[in-house]
Amino acid sequence: MTAVVASARPLLAEALAVLDLRERTVDDTGASEILAAARSAGVRLAAILVGEGGMRANLADADLPILESPSIGDRPAPEAVELEPMTEPRQTENVAAAGLGPPAPLCVTQPVRSGQRVYAQGRDLLVLAPTSRGAELLADGSIYAFGLLRGRALAGASGDRGARIVATRLDAELVAVAGVYRTLEASDIAGLRDGAASVALALDEEGGERLVLRPVDQFLPRAS
- SS3 for the chain is CHHHHHHHCCCCCCCCEEEECCCCCCCCCCHHHHHHHHHHCCCCEEEEEECCCCCHHHHCCCCCCEEECCCHHHCCCCCCCCCCCCCCCCCCHHHHHHCCCCCCCEEECCCECCCCEEEECCCCEEECCCECCCCEEEECCCEEEEEEECCEEEECCCCCCCCEEEEEEECCCEEEECCEEEECCHHHHHCCCCCCEEEEEEECCCCCEEEEEEEHHHHCCCCC
At 141 the pLDDT is 93
pLDDT of amino acid 55? 65
Domains of the chain by start residue, with CATH: 2-71 (no CATH), 93-219 (2.160.20.70)
Give the up-direction half-sphere exposure of residue 181: CA atoms within 13 A in the CB hemisphere.
19
Tens digit of each residue's pLDDT (9 = 90 or more) over 111-161: 999 989 999 999 999 999 999 999 999 999 999 999 899 999 999 988 898
Higher pLDDT, 85 or 209: 209
pLDDT per residue over 14-62, tens digit each?
A: 566 777 777 776 666 777 888 888 888 887 777 777 776 556 667 777 7
Q: What is residue 175's predicted lDDT score, i.e. its pLDDT? A: 93
**11 pLDDT band (50/70/90 cuts)?**
low
63-117 pLDDT tens trace: 777 776 655 445 444 444 344 444 443 444 444 444 556 788 999 999 999 989 9
* Residue 193 reports pLDDT greater than 90: no
Q: Indicate the average pLDDT of the chain.
A: 76
pLDDT (0 to 100) of residue 137:
94
Question: Higher confidence at residue 90 or residue 204?
Answer: 204
- pLDDT at position 91 is 42
What does pTM read for this prediction? 0.58
Alpha-carbon distances of 128 from 105, 134, 157, rounded to whole Å: 12, 18, 21
Residue 124's pLDDT is 94
Cα–Cα dist 42/13, whole Å:
9
Q: What's the whole-number mean pLDDT along residues 190-194?
A: 71
